[in-house]
Chain A
Amino acid sequence: MVKINGEDVNANGKKLTDYLKDAGYDNRFIAVEINEEIISKSQYAETVLKDGDVVEVVNFVGGG
């Protein structure tokens, strides 16, 4: 299982870029950390989610 924003998700072996797309995120508005390390947007396509990973997808919305 991969813990994504606090929830267990069956995403082992899935590419980060595919997870983000399937979950409906727009890459322009997010920052992603895996195990407290920021993932550069250029790395989304080659990053594979592994069992036990803790993923935070921060989705920014407008307003300030």
Chain B
Amino acid sequence: MTPTKEEMLKAFEVRHGKTVQSKFLSSVVAVCGLGGLGSNISISLARAGIGKLILIDFDKVDITNLHRQQYKADQIGMLKTSAMLENLKEIAPYTEYETHAVRITEDNIYELLRDADIICEAFDNAEAKAMLANFVLEKLYDKYLVSASGMAGIGSSNLVKTRKVSEKFYLCGDGVSDVNTSGGLYATRVMLCAAHQAHTVLRILAGEYDI
């Protein structure tokens, strides 16, 4: 049986403390891309009791996603936003979710992201990553950006790190392992990078800004 909202809130407070949990609950985090990074980030943040998640992806669940993305075999063909919403509601039913099944472009990015306190860049395409980072840093500079670069291949997990580039810009990953040259993507290494991103979000919300 699904617990009540009050029961879940109490459980969050037991784990995180009242002060930190109230910060999580009052925050809005946008996840741009719901692939290997974004699906894992979303689940971690929903589990932590973030108040509202804005989930954005234009794509559908494909059989080649299942090895690392948090979807189920019977969700193949569904929009990732719909499939993720279904899965997240099973995990954290009282989080507020806003989904957008669109491709993020320079024309719609402001509308999509303006309500977020923290923006997670979780794309797989390098050019899209750079576009988002440049836009947020130039036009949405009051927000925190937690981005990722370099988590492909079967290289050491210890090379995946979080770096603070500037006051509100954090970058996770090993910085170099490109999916096109490093030999595919492994769930474990992508999840490590996603966990770095989600943990950075939680740390920012808890007032821990250093890395």
Establish whether residues B176 and A61, one from each chain, have CB atoms under 8 Å apart when the complex forms: yes
Establish whether residues B149 and A58, one from each chain, have CB atoms under 8 Å apart when the complex forms: yes
CA distance A18 to B137 in the complex (A): 23
Establish whether residues B36 and A31, one from each chain, have CB atoms under 8 Å apart when the complex forms: no
Q: Which of B129, B152, B180, B182 contacts A60 (CB 8 A)?
A: B129
A17 to chain B, nearest CB (A): 15
Known contacts A31-B134, A31-B137: A61-B165 contact under CB 8 Å = no
A60 to chain B, nearest CB (A): 4
Chain B 161-185 residues near chain A, CB threshold 8 A: 165-167, 169, 171, 175-180, 182, 185
Pick 24 A–B contacts, CB within 8 A, sort by A: A28-B130, A29-B126, A30-B130, A31-B130, A33-B166, A38-B138, A58-B147, A58-B149, A60-B133, A61-B149, A61-B152, A61-B175, A61-B176, A61-B178, A62-B124, A62-B126, A62-B178, A63-B150, A63-B179, A64-B33, A64-B35, A64-B124, A64-B129, A64-B148
